[in-house]
Structure 1
Amino acid sequence: MSDPAEQAQQSFQQLTDLMGKGQQMMLEFWTKEHAAPPLVPDPLGVMSTWAKAWSAMLADPARLMEQQQRYLTDALDLWQRVLTPNAEPAQIKDKRFAGKAWAENPAFDFLRQSYLLTASHIMQAAGQLDGLDAAEQAKAQFLIKQFIDAMSPSNFLATNPEVLAKTAETGGANLIKGLEHLLADLSAGRMRMTDENAFEVGRNVAITPGKIVFQNRLFQLIQYAPSTETVFTTPLLIFPPWINKYYILDLTAEKSFIRWAVAQGLTVFVVSWKNADETLADATIDTYVEEGMFTAIDLVRQICDVPSVHTIGYCVAGTTLAAALAVLTARGQAEKVATATFFTAQVDFSDAGELKLFVDDASLDTIDTLTSGKPVLDGRYMATSFNLLRSNDLIWNYVVNNYMLGKDYFRFDLLYWNSDATNVPARWHRDYLDQMYRQNLLAKPGGMTIAGTPVNLATVTTPSYIQGGREDHIAPARSAFKLTHAFTGETRFVLAGSGHIAGVVNPPSSGKYQYWTNDTKADTLDAFIAGAKETKGSWWPDWISWLGPRSGAHVPARAPGQGGYAAIEDAPGAYVKERI
């Protein structure tokens, strides 16, 4: 066994080698050519909001002193508990501190408890900022929470016992591997959440058999091969959001809503939107309704030789579908759509949640700067905005695991899809944020026009099935519920367990979550929940039970490529494979 001096020399040499390797990796990265990002002096108005929040806090010294006194009292209580002999470690549910190492060492146990205590008091103070309007206060609370989450001791090498143990165990190799991950992600321009080499569109995701039967500059139309001998007369046309790839509804075979819908005897068509480029620089809501939705609806009617189609609109596509239904009604063509189903969609944005924080002057100015002279907004900007809404799960979790612990990226199809960002037309995206989120024009009769037609949702009588997610942080359930009062036709609202994605993509075979229904008309979401019936598992069977009786008799199954439109290529097609 070597003596302590020799061990110290070996450790010093190992550390020196690791530092040298790390410096070399950084040098190689920064000497490559990288496009400089646009200069945004105060992105999202962060500094302005901080200044207003700080001024509001100092404006009431008595309240600030009272808050500080409560904090000191709680901090002394915590210190006393820590000094109590043989005290049991605190039971903390926060998964950032769930590892045994946080509880086994009294110093780290105290560190996590003191952090959570401080964070709690800061957020209490943030909720009592007088002198700010509601929007400014909400933005201040959001930014303060982002700061608090970023400062968690779990996010730093010196204060994370799990990272320290891993570093000692590997001699620092985890940090070098983490640095490799970091530099690779910087080169890619995004934080990778999963092993992207483990998945490929058309190989193990987006694999339901079908054909591309039409395409234009905006979308490819997929018709899926039947899996039953007969099908309902009325086909189903799905409009996914153009801010994401459509295959969230066609992940693995076990999770695919599309494959499941085909198995229920539906002839299923899906719009696969073009990953926006310069050819869509002129696109507006008129484009997505006229060239997109109306074109697809008429194509499916012609291919299947039917008077009407079922439709589904997911998220922003649901918002646009609602507007499209109002336009069809105004033109005397409402019969083209037999039913409309809305997945986590909004039409009244007065309760649109934290995403409204990204539509103030500073945020729109940031988008203008990022898109100056460009036809599209880089999809990675939107992906980051969505991730910020759940930063602990979707940002800091990966900072710790990928960069500090140096773990291999694990394989998860949903995260692969989440990382497969799409560009959007810059002009239309800014208009959408301004017209929908900021001015809430869609909720106002005649507030907006599409191709010269005023939009009034109250004229829509199309039977509608409306799904919301109880934990949805993108389209809050309270906001989605307002669809039930936007139309004058028959509506059925279903509240699904989980959020914006898992609340939708929940196949019956998984046995996960639950959903709530209420056959009594409710004026508010709270009233709906108060009288709701809970059912375990997926809501999909409830949907097909609602849709089936509205779908006509069964007819021989329809193969893709018939009906006057020959197959162009196999599904999933070329558009969905375009990556940023």
Structure 2
Amino acid sequence: MSDAGGNTGGDDNGTTPNPFIPSPDDMQHWASVMARAQQMMLDHAMGQAGADRQTDKDGGAGAASPFDPATWLANPAAQMWAEQSARMWEQGVQFWSSLATLQPPFAPAAPAEAPKDRRFADPDWTQNPVFALIRQTYGLLSDQMLATTRQLSGLDPEARAKLEFAAKATAEALSPTNLAITNPEVIKRAVETRGESLLKGLKHMLADLARGQLSHVDTDAFEVGVNIATTPGKVIHETELYQLIHYAPTTAEVFTVPLVIFPPWINRFYILDLNPQKSFVRWAVDQGLSVFMVSWKSADASMKDVVWDDYVAAQVDAIDTVRDLLGVPHVHTIGYCVAGTTLAATLAMLAARGEADKVRSVTFFTAQVDFELAGDLKLFVDDSYLALLQQLSAPGFLDGRYMAATFNSLRGRDLIWNYVVNNYLLGNDYPPFDLLYWNGDTTNLPAKWHRQYLVDLYRDNRLVLPGSLSVCGTPVDLRKIETPAYIQAGREDHIAPLASVWRLMDHLSGPRTFVLAGSGHIAGVVNPPAAHKYQYWTGDNDAKSLAEFEAGATETKGSWWPHWIGWISAQDGKKTAAKGARIPGKGKKKAIEDAPGRYVKQR
């Protein structure tokens, strides 16, 4: 008789199995695992060396390290941090020592007393004295680390926020769940699989190192245009910066006023067209809207001189292209995240030029114009970070993988360490999750524009200062925007915080409708009615503050999309036959290629 791991060792009389004595077969298998692991690492190292030689051959040069460890401790704040850390670890040692002398021997806390932290969901974290001790020690030390940070004197609010962010990230990184030897679930999996789980995890890790990006999903499970981004349509217009997709109507009549959607160029457009069940695009088409989508080009060296003006000009070009194609005076618009920020500048420019009537309405998906309350992303706009970006953007564009890492760091526990444990330590298969596939499908950013965005908007908050910024030669003043606006925010948004999005209500002059959606930056937007998920709140759009709005808001279960289409209908409910130019490629703009087009597939 053998145990789950194949062990057959016994006690002195050979009758009781001992799981701690491996069988010869186990020993041979583990030796094989270690040999294969060594070969995998050797192959990876040789592959990297070959890539480095090719880079040198092509004339590339490694960027100088942006960090100098030799000078770090010379900083007074760093010295203070080192002293406080030493005290913290001293207290930790005292804690361990006191536990070791307890009589009776240390017993783990009851499960009901365990902190509600899914990292420690395995029963051994509370039932096994060793792991219970590790968990409780980690909790003590991480709490002490954060408390020490908050108690440091002589720091301005900005420096304190940076230090707290770093302390939190460090505490999350040091969690015992992130190490194979201190994670009971990983140990049990390794024993059950006789090391194969660790080998599979190593394979995942080396693959991610080779591609320079943490994987969240099985990248082979999806293909853009095949089983993701599949709403039928045609690319009917193309510039050096974007393609314009016209989606095929599914109703006999359509709204006379068409819809032009501007997604953020930090990610690819198909977050709004993941699959037929989740697709905002398909749903909007089914509601009778003539839908046009901008698909931005991922930056390359040819776009090194692209600036914000170019994106504003592209938005105007798309609006004018659709107006001319359909012979209509104006369009509805949607701007998502940074594209919404830019759309506000576009509308202010059009208003200043007397062309505001080109846009019948504007909808903002989780967009900001006032960056005073922009959250943790403001930590990435100081001089040292900007200098680092300049090094990383030497070819004239910023590799999208760096931006992905930045966004992941805002929720490191969920978007970094959770996947380190699941994919590397446990060796789990990657899930075939379309949203995570999109999240990892990064886009490159023009270096000059990206720096301009961080400095002028995030750091200096100039967009809300009338006349401080000019776009396409026109000073912008958000107060001149009188276009009816629908402003959507996510209650749990960590990219565009709710309080920051609310500020749109303070700076626009036209009629405004504010809708607060459940969930965050993505799920708060991509929430189809059929899913019956989350909720949204509506309230007094004349409220003087977000707190006043929330105090009187009414909650409605489910998706806010039906509320939005009702608002769109109220702006202009006229319909026209879905024929002629309303069919992609049938008007004066002939089809260039099928949706989703080439740009969304370029890497």
Please state which band the TM-score falls in when normalised by the shorter chain: over 0.9
1:260 corresponds, among 283, 294, 317, to: 283
Cα pair 1:50 1:140 within 8 Å, conserved = no
CA distance in 1, matches of 2:480, 2:158: 32
Q: Answer whether contact 2:107 2:129 (CA < 8 A) is retained.
A: no
Cross-structure match for 2:599? 575
Out of 551, 554, 561, the residue aligned to residue 540 of structure 1 is 561
Q: Which residues of 2 match residues 81-230 of structure 1 at below 5 A?
A: 88-89=110-111, 90-230=113-253
- Residue aligning to 1:517: 538
1:456 to 465, 468, 477: 477
For residues 226-268 of structure 1, the C-alpha deviation after alignment (integer angstroms, 9 at most, x for no partner) is: 1111011100000000010000000011000111111111100
**Which of 322, 326, 331 is residue 300 of structure 1 equivalent to?**
322
Go from structure 1 to structure 2 and tell me whether the alpha carbon gap of 1:81 and 1:285 turns closer, same or farther (over 3 Å shift): farther
Q: Bigger CA drift: 528-537 or 64-73?
A: 64-73
Q: Tell me what 2:335 maps to.
A: 313
Give the secondary-structure state (helix, strand or coil) at the position aligned to 2:224.
coil
Matching of residues 21-36 of structure 1 within 5 Å: 21-32=36-47, 33-35=50-52
In 2, Cα distance between equivalents of 1:382 and 1:551: 39
Check the 8 A contact 1:235/1:267 in 2, yes or no: yes
Q: Which has the higher contact order (CA 8 A, sep 6+)?
A: 1
Contact kept in structure 2, 1:82 and 1:106, CA below 8 Å: no
Rounded to whole Å, the distance in 2 between the matches of 1:224 and 1:458 is 34
Q: 2:385 aligns with which of 347, 363, 378?
A: 363
Flag the 1:170–1:447 CA change in 2: closer, same or farther, 3 A. same
Q: Which amino acid aligns with 1:369?
A: Q
Cα distance in structure 2, aligned partners of 1:519 and 1:473: 24
Question: TM-score, length-normalised on structure 2?
Answer: 0.90
Q: What is the CA deviation profile of residues 528-551 of structure 1, one whole-angstrom value per residue up to 9, with x for unaligned ones?
A: 211211111111111111111112
Cross-structure match for 2:14: none
Cα distance change of structure 1 residues 51 and 537 upon mapping to structure 2, 3 Å threshold: farther
Q: Deviations over 1:167-207 (max 9, x none)?
A: 11111111111111111111111111111111111111101
Partner of 1:483: 504
Structure 2 Cα separation of the partners of residues 67 and 108 of structure 1: 19
Report the 3-state secondary structure (helix = DSSP H, G, I; strand = E; otherwise coil) of the residue aligned with 1:227: coil
Aligned to 2:273: 250
**Separation (CA, whole Å) in 2 of partners of 1:385 and 1:462:** 34
Amino acid paired to 1:148:
A
CA distance in 1, matches of 2:93, 2:148: 11
Of residues 294-303 and 276-285 in structure 1, the stretch that sits farther from structure 2 once superposed is 276-285
CA positional deviation for 1:93: 1.5
SS at match of 2:536: strand
Q: How many Å separate the matches in 2 of 1:79 and 1:94? A: 28
Aligned match of 1:344 in 358, 363, 366? 366
Pick closer, same or farther for the CA change 1:469–1:24 going to 2, 3 Å: same
Alignment partner, residue 397 of structure 1: 418
Name whichever of 515-524 and 46-55 sits farther off: 46-55
Contact residue 516 and residue 534 of structure 1 kept, 8 A: yes
Q: Tell me, what secondary structure is at the counterpart of 1:516? A: strand
Is contact 1:327–1:455 with CA below 8 Å preserved after alignment? Answer: yes
Q: How many residues align?
A: 574
In structure 2, what residue type is equivalent to 1:574? R
Distance in structure 1 (CA, Å) of the matches to 2:290 and 2:512: 23
Q: Which residue of 2 aligns with 1:42?
A: 67
Out of 327, 337, 354, the position equivalent to 2:349 is 327
Higher mean alpha-carbon deviation, 267-276 vs 14-23, is at 14-23
**Which structure 1 residue ranges, 5 or more long, are not aligned?**
none
Q: Sort the Cα spacing of 1:353 and 1:81 in 2 relative to 1 into closer, same or farther, 3 A.
A: farther
Q: Kindly tell me: are residues 87 and 116 of structure 1, through their superposed partners in 2, closer, same or farther at Cα, counting changes over 3 Å? A: closer
Q: Where does residue 16 of structure 2 map in the other structure?
A: none
8 Å contact kept, 2:298–2:599: yes
- What displacement does 1:11 show? 4.2
Offset of residue 85 of structure 1: 6.4
Give the counterpart letter for 1:502 in structure 2: A
CA RMSD of aligned residues (A): 2.8
The CA distance in 2 between the partners of 1:144 and 1:577, in whole Å, is: 38
Structure 2 unmatched ranges of 5 or more: 2-7, 11-19, 53-60
Going from structure 1 to structure 2, the CA distance change for 1:285 and 1:78 (only over 3 Å counts) comes to farther
Whether 1:442 aligns to 2:459 is: no
Amino acid across the alignment from 2:38: Q
**SS of corresponding position for 2:463:** helix
Deviation at 1:16, TM superposition (A): 3.0
Q: 2 CA distance for matches of 1:74 and 1:520?
A: 56
Report the residue type matching 2:572 in the other structure: S
Query: Which has the larger displacement, 559-568 or 238-247?
Result: 559-568
Cα separation, 1, equivalents of 2:180 and 2:545: 47
Check whether the contact 1:78–1:114 (CA below 8 A) recurs between aligned residues. Answer: no
Report the Cα offset of residue 437 of structure 1: 0.5
Q: Report the AA paired with residue 418 of structure 1.
A: N
1:194·1:411 contact (CA, 8 Å) conserved in 2?
yes
CA distance in 1, matches of 2:368, 2:552: 23
Deviations 1:298-320 (A, max 9, x none): 00111111100000000000000
CA–CA distance in structure 2, aligned partners of residues 503 and 167 of structure 1: 38
Residue 46 of structure 1: CA displacement? 13
Residues 212, 78 of structure 1: alpha-carbon distance in 2 compared, 3 angstrom cutoff: farther
8 Å contact from structure 1 (residues 18, 172) kept in 2? yes
CA distance in 2, matches of 1:492, 1:49: 52
Counterpart residue identity of residue 393, structure 1: D
CA shift digits 1:298-354 (9 cap, x unpaired): 001111111000000000000000000000001100000011100011111111100
Q: Match for 2:65: what amino acid?
A: V
- Asked if 2 retains the 8 angstrom alpha-carbon contact of 1:303 and 1:562, the reply is no
User: Does the 8 A contact of 1:305 with 1:563 survive in 2?
Assistant: no
Mapped contact 2:308–2:471 kept (Cα < 8 A) = yes
Per-residue deviation, residues 481-536 of structure 1 (Å, max 9, x unmatched): 00011111111111111111001001111111111111252222222211211111
Instruction: Summarize the alignment of residues 489-500 of structure 1 with structure 2, pairs less than 5 Å apart.
Output: 489-500=510-521
Conserved in 2, the CA contact under 8 Å of 1:53 and 1:140?
no
SS in 2 for 1:186: helix
Deviations 1:369-410 (A, max 9, x none): 1112x1211000000000000011111111111111111111
Q: Which amino acid aligns with 1:24?
A: Q
